[in-house]
Homo-oligomer: A and B are copies of this chain.
Amino acid sequence: MNRLTVEKTAAFLRENDGYLVLTHVRPDGDAHGSAAALVRILRSMGKTAYILYNPETTDKFVPVVSALWAPEGWEPETVVSVDLASEGLFPANAVCYAGHVALSIDHHPSNTGYAENLCLSGERASCGEIIYEIARAAGIEPDIPVAEAIYIAVSTDTGCFAYANVTENAFSTAAKMAQAGADIAEWNRILFRTRSRRRIALEGMIYSGAEFYFDGKVAVITVTRRMMERSGCTENDMDDVAAIPGGIEGVVCGITLREMTSPEDCKVSVRTTQAVNASELCSILGGGGHAMAAGASPKGMTVEEMKQVLLRELERMMKGAGVE
């Protein structure tokens, strides 16, 4: 595997042709935006380029990518992946390209190096920012569709610039896309200021049932199968649900309990501040993760049973750490 600078990546893109761009399972705005921007940049170089259809594309991103999907049966010469850290994240219809990716453009430090060439900037908040740097290195100014695709990438991966991963470069890239004519107000409306009726109904039930323990330091929300049915929500509607309890004032440990296929097939997501180790807490249920974000999926336990186990363990941990 060769590591390429953005300049070398621009040269690579000029030298080859017949591009197919791959995105990851459960594609997000960075995946779609990066792919759409790259295909349009390649076409402006005179290349043939398409995005491989991603079967999990959600409605709001269809207008960004659908005109760029490869025709069925078309055979690429050069396969490129964007925002795609490992072959394990290939959608089913991309598995045939495993071992044949010529170039991976990514911002995940965990990229496994599965591609022949890798352009990686781990300090970027979004892959879309790297696509823009490659375009600049190739001497290409973004037109409006490219600018909107890059804006979609950087804005979604930073939660509209509100997440802790936002950087000077994320803001300055957004500024340049605004200058290039991207309709920022309209994309913000679509991406960040609109919630579905289903989601509103579910949030109503979640908030009404929120429970607080240890003087408000621990918040627990529960999403049951019945709540999913009553609201009409599916997995597509569950973006950022696990962030809800940790986003409440004074909470140092936010716990999200979910019933999945049955009342005894449940999972928990935990988000904490530095006061509580989320991975240590989840280990009591056989799970793990990072210090401030972890989870567990123990078999054969109800949400109520999981909650009791977690609260007992939290009492022990918080006493030990002097958080109480």
Contacts and interface: CB of A to CB of B under 8 A. Distances in A.
Contact of A204 (B176, B178, B210, B247): B210
Contacts of A96: none
Contacts of A167: 178
A184 B248 CA distance: 19
Interface in A244-286: 247-250
A174 to B, nearest CB: 4
A62 interface: no
Interface stretch (A4-12, A21-29, A192-200): A192-200
A148 to B, nearest CB: 14
Given A161-B174, A164-B185, A188-B162, A248 B207 contact: no
B178 A164 contact: no
A178 B172 CA distance: 10
A194 B247 contact: yes
A162 B204 contact: no
A200 B172 CA distance: 33
A44 interface: no
A188 B164 contact: yes
A248 B194 contact: yes
A318 interface: no
Interface string A152-172: 000100001111111111011
A64 B168 CA distance: 22
B200 A207 contact: yes
Given A162-B160, A171-B178, A203 B197 contact: no
A54 B297 CA distance: 50
Contacts of A88: none
B193 A216 contact: no
Contact of A188 (B163, B174, B203, B243): B163
Contact of A179 (B168, B197, B203, B212): B168
Given A171-B174, A174-B161, A178-B171, A207 B196 contact: no
A3 to B, nearest CB: 27
Contact of A172 (B175, B196, B248, B249): B175
Nearest to A179: B168
Nearest to A180: B168
A178 B193 CA distance: 25
A209 B208 CA distance: 11
Cβ-closest 8 pairs across A and B: A204-B207, A171-B175, A204-B208, A164-B185, A168-B178, A172-B175, A171-B174, A162-B192
23 contacts: A160-B160, A161-B188, A163-B185, A163-B193, A164-B185, A165-B185, A167-B178, A168-B178, A169-B175, A171-B171, A171-B178, A193-B243, A193-B247, A195-B247, A195-B248, A195-B249, A196-B249, A197-B249, A203-B204, A203-B207, A204-B204, A204-B210, A205-B208
Interface of A: 155, 160-169, 171-172, 174-176, 178-179, 184-185, 188-189, 192-197, 200-201, 203-210, 212, 216, 243, 247-250
